Chains A and B, each alone.
Chain A
Amino acid sequence: KAGVTQTPRYLIKTRGQQVTLSCSPISGHRSVSWYQQTPGQGLQFLFEYFSETQRNKGNFPGRFSGRQFSNSRSEMNVSTLELGDSALYLCASSETPGGLAPLHFGNGTRLTVT
Chain B
Amino acid sequence: GENVEQHPSTLSVQEGDSAVIKCTYSDSASNYFPWYKQELGKRPQLIIDIRSNVGEKKDQRIAVTLNKTAKHFSLHITETQPEDSAVYFCAALTGGGNKLTFGTGTQLKVEL
Q: What is A's interface to B at a CB cutoff of 8 Å? A: 4, 33, 35, 40-45, 48, 55-56, 58-59, 90, 98-100, 102-103, 105-108
Q: For this complex, into which size category does the number of interface residues on chain B fall?
A: 20 to 34
Once the chains bind, are B45 and A105 in contact (CB under 8 Å)? yes
Q: How far is the CB of B75 from chain A (nearest CB, A)?
A: 15
Q: Which residue of A lies closest to B98 (CB)?
A: A56
- Nearest 10 interchain pairs by C-beta: A42-B104, A105-B43, A43-B102, A99-B100, A102-B46, A99-B93, A42-B105, A56-B99, A56-B98, A105-B44
Q: What is B's interface to A at a CB cutoff of 8 Å? A: 1, 6, 9, 32, 34, 36, 42-46, 49, 89, 91, 93, 95, 97-105
Q: Which residues of A contact B43 (CB under 8 A)?
A: 4, 90, 105-108
Q: How far is the CB of B93 from chain A (nearest CB, A)?
A: 5
Most buried by A among B44, B100, B101, B103: B100
**Dominant secondary structure at the B interface:** strand
Once the chains bind, are B99 and A45 in contact (CB under 8 Å)? yes
In the bound assembly, the distance between CA atoms of A106 and B43 in angstroms comes to: 6
Q: Which residue of B lies closest to A59 (CB)?
A: B1
Ordered by A's residue number, 20 sampled pairs between the chains whose C-beta atoms are within 8 Å are: A4-B43, A33-B100, A40-B104, A41-B104, A42-B6, A42-B103, A56-B98, A90-B43, A90-B44, A98-B99, A99-B91, A99-B97, A99-B98, A100-B97, A103-B34, A103-B44, A103-B100, A105-B43, A105-B44, A106-B43
Once the chains bind, are B46 and A103 in contact (CB under 8 Å)? yes
- Could you list 15 further interchain pairs (A-B, Cβ under 8 angstroms) beyond the known A48-B99, A105-B44? A35-B102, A41-B104, A42-B6, A42-B104, A42-B105, A43-B89, A44-B102, A90-B43, A98-B93, A98-B98, A99-B97, A99-B98, A102-B34, A102-B49, A103-B34
Q: Which residues of A contact B91 (CB under 8 A)?
A: 43, 99
Q: Which residue of A lies closest to B31 (CB)?
A: A100
Q: Which residue of B lies closest to A48 (CB)?
A: B99
